[in-house]
Copies of this chain bind each other. A is one copy, B any other.
Amino acid sequence: MTTLTLAGAINAGLRRALENDPKVLLMGEDIGALGGVFRVTDGLHKDFGGERVVDTPLAEAGIVGTAIGLAMRGYRPVCEIQFDGFIFPAFDQITTQLAKMHYRSQGRINLPVVIRVPYGGGIGAIEHHSESPEALFAHTPGLRVVSPATPADGFAMIQQAIASPDPVLFFEPKGRYWDKGEVDLDAAAGAPEGLGVARIARAGTDLTIVAYGPTVATALKVAEAAAAEGTSIEVVDLRSLSPLDTATLAESVRRTGHCVVVHEAPVFFGAGAEIAARITEACFFHLEAPVLRVGGFHVPYPVSKLEHDYLPGLDRVLDAVDRALSY
């Protein structure tokens, strides 16, 4: 076991993928000599060269569009979008081309393209640098949408994503890039199907908190705080929004009878809506309270001095836990 940051673990996973498969290549803005603005590709340009770690022109549609062409030619491009707020110029290529080519071609074309997106807030950034647009991609058939919460998952999941025959939106919780954890660098990454399987991050009996990416750590803190007051909270780390591991979720909520979903994205039309609707359908007679959602408000990501009012922090999640338990 090695102690790594999340950024370091993803870096190690990328390195492993580059080593194992000559068809893997990284593309993006400033990922070469600079190593990416978060240094997630640090050292890779030096070791694998500019043909495999490619500094592209400043054009996100171009990055994803040429990645599609490269994938058609047999490559496995891993694109970095510099920040969440800059994925939108690529939206057309992702939605109408990347997501649909396999279907359009009746399975004759595979597009194993990974799009890495540092996302989420809490880092004191200016506009466009703290957003959580994951729900916009989960609604689009043909894409897989995942987010690791721990260094161990960062290392394994990036490799699974690259190995996946399908396009994967890989959302990296940038506010957790420097959080550390144990990673087994010798472990095999596991089959790409593992990407869709949720993880019980902490077992509990009274209430289930569903989280992914940056909010898993928050949920664990909430569980810790609640435990001190005698409440036993189970934390499910979804890992994946598309597919969604309804079975694991439903099993947990049937046991606990209470559920709170937490994400940074605005609640309105966010991932929590799908999760709540689905859990309610699957566990209708087990629920003792409605599934409550805690997340961002229906406002653009605010100025950084207010972001901690906007983000679902410990207090707001605890408040929802209380409301659910006393419903």
Contact = CB atoms under 8 A, between A and B. Distances in A.
Contact of A277 (B136, B273, B298): B273
A99 B281 contact: no
A274 interface: yes
- How many copies the complex holds: the figure is 2
A75 interface: no
Contact of A138 (B92, B265, B268): B268
A292 interface: yes
Contacts of A69: none
A141 B241 CA distance: 21
Nearest to A142: B300
A85 B96 contact: yes
Interface in A239-259: 241-242, 244
A192 interface: no
Contacts of A327: 284
A291 interface: yes
A100 B292 CA distance: 28
A289 B300 contact: no
Contact of A299 (B96, B141, B265): B141
A138 B96 contact: no
A302 to B, nearest CB: 9
A240 B142 CA distance: 28
A225 interface: no
A249 B61 CA distance: 40
Interface string A278-292: 101100100001111
B271 A242 contact: no
A271 B293 CA distance: 16
A124 interface: no
A103 interface: yes
A89 to B, nearest CB: 5
A269 interface: yes
Nearest to A127: B104
A274 B268 contact: yes
Query: Which of the listed residues A100, A103, A139, A266 has the most CB atoms from chain B within 10 Å of its own CB?
Result: A139
Contacts of A173: none
A56 interface: no
B272 A277 contact: yes
Given A100-B300, A276-B281, A281-B290, 8 more contacts: A88-B96, A96-B128, A136-B139, A139-B270, A269-B271, A269-B274, A277-B280, A281-B292
